[in-house]
Amino acid sequence: MAEAHAFTVQEMLQAFLDQSEQQPTWLDLPVELDAQGLPIRVRGAWLRGFPATPRKALAELAASWKRRCGPWDASSPGTGLCVEGWDALERHEIVVFCPCSRERALRALVALGAEGALEAKAKGEPLEVVCDFCRSAYSFDPNEVLSVI
């Protein structure tokens, strides 16, 4: 677990790398978000130096690379990059997968106990669980939750 105060995906990952890597790292990671603020496309570079490499040297190297070769291509991360003399270790497509389900949402409500379900029943309101990752919403009648409890 890495504690970081960040506002973007890039800042969060850079903070994590700063705390977890045994060597200097530099990250350039523009993230395209959908209307709900979820990442849909990421492109960029992650450079790792040797233990004695100054972090500033990695940033300067990346800046000169981008000046010479232009920005990263969103359609294919390796296209247009000057990779002579560099190892392009891996390229990954982003795959979105969330293991949430109605059954898991129900189990979460059951784990909270009967108090919330009884309160919702008294108000005549449904209980709703919204997944933090994919934003799927699952609605339950309080009687359904109480019957499982």
Alpha helices in 21-141 (DSSP H): 55-69, 102-112, 114-123
Average confidence score pLDDT of the chain: 77
C-beta separation of 41 from 52 below 8 A: no
pLDDT, residue 54, reads: 80
Q: Who has greater pLDDT, 86 or 47? A: 47
C-beta separation of 90 from 78 below 8 A: no
- Per domain, the residue ranges of the chain are 1-96, 102-148
Question: What is the pTM assigned to this prediction?
Answer: 0.41
Burial 89-105 (b: 16+ CB within 10 A, else e): eeeeeeeeeeebeeeeb
Candidates 93, 94, 95, 91; CA nearest to 45 is: 91
* Beta-ladder partners of 129: 138
Q: Thinking of the domain 102-148, which architecture would CATH place it in?
A: Alpha-Beta Complex (3.90)
In one-letter notation, the amino acid at residue 93 is: E
Which tens digit of pLDDT belongs to each residue from 67-84?
776 665 545 545 555 555
C-beta separation of 137 from 129 below 8 A: yes
Confidence bin at 4 (pLDDT 50/70/90):
low
Across 128-135, average pLDDT? 88
